[in-house]
Amino acid sequence: MAKQTRDEGKFVELDGAEMGKVVVRFPPEASGYLHIGHAKAALLNQFYQQSFRGQLILRFDDTNPAKENAHFEEVIEEDIRRLQVEWDRMSRTSDHFDALLDFCEQLLSTGKAYVDDTEAEQMRKEREERVESRNRGNAVEQNMALWGQMLEGSERGQQCCVRVKIDMGHNNGALRDPTIYRCKSESHVRHGDKYKVYPTYDFACPIVDSLEGVTHALRTTEYMDRDEQYYFICDALGLRKPRIWAFARLNMTHTVMSKRKLTWLVEQGIVSGWDDPRMPTVRGIIRRGLTVEGLKQFILAQGGSRSVVTMEWDKVWAFNKKVIDPVASRYTALDDTSATLVPVKIRQFVEEEYRRVPLHPKKPDGDSKEVWFGPDLLVERTDADCFKVGDTVTFVNWGNMKVAEVRRDEGENGGRMASVEVDLDLDNKDYKKTMKVTWLANHSENFAINTVRYEHLISKSIIGKEEEWKELVSRDSVHVGTLLAEAALKNVKCGDILQIQRKSFFICDENTSTSMTLIEIPDGKEIKKDTGANPSVIKKTPKAGPIDLTIDESDFPTFRANLPSFFSRCSVNESSESLMNADFPTFRANLPSSFFRCSVNESSESLMNADSPTFRGPTSFFQTSVDESPNSPVCKHFRHTVSVEKSPKLAYKPKLIRPNPASPSVVQLGLRRSQRTRLPRLLSHMGQKAQYRHDKDGILVGVSEVVVNDRLLKKHRVVDIVTASRKEHESKHRKQIAKRKRRCQRAMHHISEVDEEEDE
């Protein structure tokens, strides 16, 4: 088989498979559009066909004339081509109708099948109670006579069906004399009224598989109860038996896949059609921006698993992002809602001109676009509000500029940002610690575009068996926004995938002379968004870091508004007043003095006594030093909930245990065995110089002030950090430690910061 990549799951070898001789088939029923579950089946068949250099048959199962029509055959062919699946042969079950009739008569003439006129409800009841039909013992002549009536489609014949004799007492209900032929009065899409009787799928499938040379029949696990029936029919007719290989059916959260339910959504006008980006159809997911390669990687990552689970859409989109990120062209567009753009004036002379800029920052020699440069720029207000005089700001695709002047409108708290003046600082190539902003030249070629963000069509992740699914349909799952885009975006074609820098990935859904519409592509990260806001301008929380910001009273409202959300829940003076609403003196006076690490002239001056010009603190999160006030409401809230907020899928909250001051502290890092040799390097990254030792369980002794962050944990594959006193640690049983390790392997702990001081 083909060599597996890192992201591929483990595949089960096909029993009896020989290189160059494997034949697989994909047999859809031409009664609807293909969805992501069908796509998995098609791509798995293609995977094994390519792995063994065999053949793939596309076979339409047209055994039920009441459902099939020619339109759906065309649709399915188009969808399979969209999936980039190439078949070697195309066939239809109806190509073998005459042969199937002969095989049915063979079973009747040898007494292995009989014609039954029992009513459907009575037949179902007898099957459940394992009671034989009164017609099971009919003579061959009587069965053949009734079979003749069925072939003619007479009134008497339409009351009958053919059942194969297997075992009415079998525990497997699929073996209790299943039906193999029944009458259908509808016209067939290809044969018209030529046939009055039609085989069931369970009867036709093994026969046609055998006749067409299929070596391996890939089916979902829901058919496993019918495997014995499949082999029984082959044995009864003396046919070669293909090998059955079962794989798990693909179920997705917030999704219905039933053709009946999807048809209802279309007919009720809840979706715009079968290609609506919220639909799980092949057309829908591709229109939303899912690439075939991303879908393949997602399916191959599941491997040959037979465990039926419900997959998250985030996993699909995460694989997709890996595919599109290295190749998607980058463009610039700004939020175009009312009063959101701020003019920026460059004080030096800048020649107005078009310059060539690479479409991808990591491909400087690749395709490029024309960008208009000039002295008058536009930036988003959310960026401009962060500008301070003297700051160095990096303008993407241009370079560094220094903020020279900031003007505000008259009003409360200094008013809104009105305009900014900057000086070019292009010789400064240090971009590591600067704020990055996207911009547009204030030029007439800029144009407005529409953006669309879709949410889940079904509001609940998994629909319960007793729940009415129609009540869970979301009627407000489409959000439209507008952006002001650069002129180069006009060259994008429908179907092109691109990235609006600092916003999201998009796929072009429409580009005409009068309008352009981009559909936002999910990136696999579940971010709570305010549906009332423009979805295209929602930004992710910046990475935490010790970025100091000098605060004065005029800037305080902006500073306060950007506090982390968990901080707003802290009370002031034991009242319900939120710090988010407090004025500057109250805000300063009610903070625990030890909560912030003071950065005022490198002294230990307390922030409680700092005046407003010298009040300083990080903009994204506050580093904590809890030794003085470990029980303050702010500290307790930070230490026990920030990890859960950043990682909502954690199975449980991390427990941080204060060490016993009377004994040395022990820091246990749950490392994978292969990472134990990295302990010295890990500590050096933490800035530790204390002596330490470690044993096979990864126990560090004598380490003080252990400070870690998400990036460090991920880099060193640390799965757990627990701090406890030495006595507490040594009193625990080894089995408890092993249990903790296993639990930690199931859920990565993202601990933002841990400060522990050792009692020397």
CATH number for the domain spanning 88: value is 3.40.50.620
Average pLDDT over residues 747-757: 32
| pLDDT one-digit tens code per residue, 259-302 | 999 999 999 999 999 999 999 999 999 999 999 999 999 998 88
Q: Is residue 748 part of a domain?
A: no
Q: Is residue 66 part of a domain?
A: yes
What pLDDT sits at residue 69? Answer: 86
Whether 47 has a pLDDT exceeding 90, the answer reads: yes
Average pLDDT over residues 199-219: 97
Whether 473 has a pLDDT exceeding 70, the answer reads: yes
Domain check: are 191 and 333 in the same one?
A: no
Ranking 412-421, 647-656, 680-689 by mean pLDDT, the lowest is 647-656
Domain check: are 241 and 343 in the same one?
A: no
The Cβ-side half-sphere exposure at 154, using a 13 Å CA radius, reads 10
What pLDDT sits at residue 415? Answer: 72
Domain check: are 239 and 344 in the same one?
A: no
In the chain, the number of structural domains is: 3
Residues 566, 637 contacting (CB under 8 angstroms) = yes
What pLDDT sits at residue 399? Answer: 95
Domain check: are 73 and 198 in the same one?
A: yes
Backbone Cα Rg of the chain: 34
From the list 610, 637, 621, 633, the residue with the least C-alpha distance to 562 is 621
Ranking 92-101, 115-124, 465-474, 484-493 by mean pLDDT, the lowest is 465-474
What is the rounded CA–CA span in Å between residue 274 and residue 498?
24
Confidence of residue 741 (pLDDT cuts 50, 70, 90): low
Confidence of residue 587 (pLDDT cuts 50, 70, 90): low
Whether 167 has a pLDDT exceeding 90, the answer reads: yes
What is the rounded CA–CA span in Å between residue 158 and residue 149?
8
Chain-centre distance of CA 339, in angstroms? 34
If you average pLDDT over every residue of the chain, what do you get?
Answer: 76
CATH classification of the domain holding 399? 2.40.240.10
Residues 6+ apart with CB under 8 A from 384: 342, 344, 417, 420
What pLDDT sits at residue 244? Answer: 95
What pLDDT sits at residue 308? Answer: 79
Whether 555 has a pLDDT exceeding 80, the answer reads: no
What pLDDT sits at residue 584? Answer: 61
**Strands 251-252, 310-311: pairing kind:** parallel
Domain final residue, candidates 200, 229, 247: 247
| pLDDT one-digit tens code per residue, 68-90 | 888 999 999 999 999 999 999 99
What pLDDT sits at residue 92? Answer: 96
Q: Is residue 305 part of a domain?
A: no
Residues 6+ apart with CB under 8 A from 223: 246
Q: To which H or E segment does residue 680 belong?
A: helix 679-686
Whether 696 has a pLDDT exceeding 60, the answer reads: no
What pLDDT sits at residue 739? Answer: 67
Alpha-carbon distance values, 294 to 81, 83, 301, 526 (Å): 16, 11, 11, 18
Domain check: are 235 and 349 in the same one?
A: no
Q: Is residue 698 part of a domain?
A: yes
What is the rounded CA–CA span in Å between residue 712 and residue 715?
5
Q: Where are the alpha helices (DSSP H) in 573-617?
A: 584-589
What pLDDT sits at residue 154? Answer: 94
Domain check: are 108 and 243 in the same one?
A: yes
Domain check: are 441 and 340 in the same one?
A: yes
| pLDDT one-digit tens code per residue, 698-707 | 444 443 334 3
Whether 526 has a pLDDT exceeding 80, the answer reads: no
213: left (phi over 0), alpha (psi -120 to 50) or beta: left
What pLDDT sits at residue 300? Answer: 87
Q: Is residue 104 part of a domain?
A: yes
What pLDDT sits at residue 410? Answer: 75
- Domain containing 62 equals 8-247
Domain check: are 212 and 92 in the same one?
A: yes
Domain final residue, candidates 682, 708, 734: 708
Q: Is residue 381 part of a domain?
A: yes
From the list 294, 751, 313, the residue with the least C-alpha distance to 525 is 313
